[in-house]
Structures are given as structure tokens and as C-alpha cells.
Amino acid sequence: MSFPFAVRITSDGSSPWPVEAGRYRLVVNRACPFASRSLVVRRLTGLEDALPVAVTDPLHDERGWRFTLDPDGRDPVLGIRYLAEAYRAAVPGYDGGVSVPAVVDVPSGRVVTNDHDTLTPDLASQWRGLHRPGAPDLYPAELRADIDALNAELAADVHFGVYACGFARTQEEYSAAFHRLFDRLDTLEERLRGQRFLFGDAITESDIRLFTTLVRFDAVYHGLFKCNRNTLTEMPVLWAYARDLFQTPGFGETVHFADIKLHYHAVLTELNPSGIVPEGPDLSGWHTPHGRDALGGRPFGDGTPPPAAT
């Protein structure tokens, strides 16, 4: 998938947009799995002060993501009602897609990037000079090629795979996407059977990507997107792995199930014409013991967990 604002913010001089504390505003929606990745990375690395966040309403109208959660329906820093205004500040007359996450340059009010694929690796590496002391290395140099390769597979089969199931227009399209999705989940189940995280003993950026899809699986994708061979809770290894991450500082506190369920079921009227938001599933299981510590490992590698959320 291509992004119209696939610009990178870097510290190595490779981009006209330099890493700079306080210059940019990260715009997210808590329902979006791609935006949620940036929230987890930001939390684990301690970038909260360096990269302030703006949160959009889980509901939107024909004008897209809006700041109706803020007083007077405007983002208090950018002064705009709709994220689309920042896109048009970058490209006058822009009428294409408006997606989150998006990073906005505060002085100019223009979107710099909406490329979620490069945003989180860059937050984990290019922004390292602004990380908190003890921040984990989520994108270690010696693993980057392997992380990028796995991320591409996860994107094709899992992250976009659930959408391919949900929005398929023919039985053949749906069946192909369905089998790719569950074949990949079966492979991941085996990969994680004997190791705690996707690359062994410590969390990497790949784990964050997989987590933000898995945490939405039973609440949304299983029913609404017809990804219904089984629930996540019926895949014992992936279910324990997802709970392990959910209970790790920096993960669970970024998850807002109410926003997730409301957005998907109320906004995607093509899939859910009634707009009825389901009562289930029971979410209490996310807090139950997972037993993954028996595999050993150090979730933060040589780093430390983030301080308690305030």
C-alpha cells in the first residue's frame, strides 16, 4: 500500500524533516491498529514529551477524522476541527484519503507523513537520541533485515489480511484471504511455541505490530470481518502470547476496547448496516495468567520498563 505522504523524519540528514523535540504532533485514533503501533512505541521509548499526541473521535463523518473529543471540537495545538485540514495545508485542494497515524508539523500545520510502515521503525531508531534512559531497542541493527522481512509477511497475510476477508467482493477473494490469514496464524502459533517473542527473548517492533492486530481479533475481526475459523482464545499459544504483551507495561494501557468496538461497528456501515455495537466478547480474560514467563526472556532486553502511566 502506498501513502501520499510517505516522508520520513530522520536524525541522519537523509530527510528535510529533522527529528526535533516538540516540533511535531502525532495524530492517532485509538481504534486504529496502525495508529496504535505508534502509541506503544512512543510509550515504551519515552517519547511522550518529545512527540505530543492528538486523539481523534472514534466516530467520523464524511469529512473524516475529527477532533470532537477536544473542547470546541478543535485540536488545542493545531487549531483544526478535522485532520483533513492538515492534509490540505500540505497539498492545497487535496481530496484523497485521510489516514492515521499522521505526523503534523506544528509550525506550518501541515502533514509530514502518514506512512505507518516506516513511522514506528523510525521512532525506534531515528528518534533514539530523544528516548528515555533505559528505553528498549525495538529495532536492533543486527535484526533489521529479518524484522523488515517478517513485517512484510505479517502485513500481507495478517494486518491487511483481516481487511481482505472483511471487504472481499467475491467468494474466491474471501476464501483466498481467509486461508492466507489462518495459515499465517498457524505458522506464528508454532514459531512462538518455544520462544517468548517473535525474535526470541526480547520484544521487537514486529511484536508490537502483531499485538495491535491480535488485540482486535475477537472484538472485531472474528465476527464483523468473517475471520471466523476460530477465535484468538482458541489458539492457545497466540492467546497466551497476546496476554503476555497486553500485561506488559506500555501495551495494555494503550488499548481502548470501547473505542475499537464503537468505531468498527458504527462507522463501517457497509459491513454492519444497523450500526449496532455488540455487547461481547468477554474481555476479562486479557488479565488472566499467561504462563509465558516460563519461557524466560527479558521483555525489554537490556532496557527497562516504562514508568507507570500517570
Cell of 28: 492517532
DSSP-assigned letters across all residues of 112-159: EE--HHHHHHHHHHTTGGGSPTT---SS-GGGHHHHHHHHHHHIIIII
281, amino acid identity: P
- Is 32 catalytic? The answer is yes
Torsion of CA 176, 184, 239, 28, to 10 degrees: -80
Q: Smallest Cα–Cα separation from 9: which of 127, 176, 157?
A: 127
Rounded CA Rg of the chain: 19
Q: How far apart are CA 221 and CA 310, in angstroms?
A: 31
What residue type is assigned to position 168 of the chain? A
The catalytic residue among 24, 87, 94, 163 is 163
Q: How far is CA 133 from CA 26, 47, 130, 270, in A?
A: 22, 11, 9, 46
- 165: annotated active-site residue: no
Find the catalytic residue in 24, 32, 82, 165.
Answer: 32
Which positions are annotated as active-site residues? 32, 163
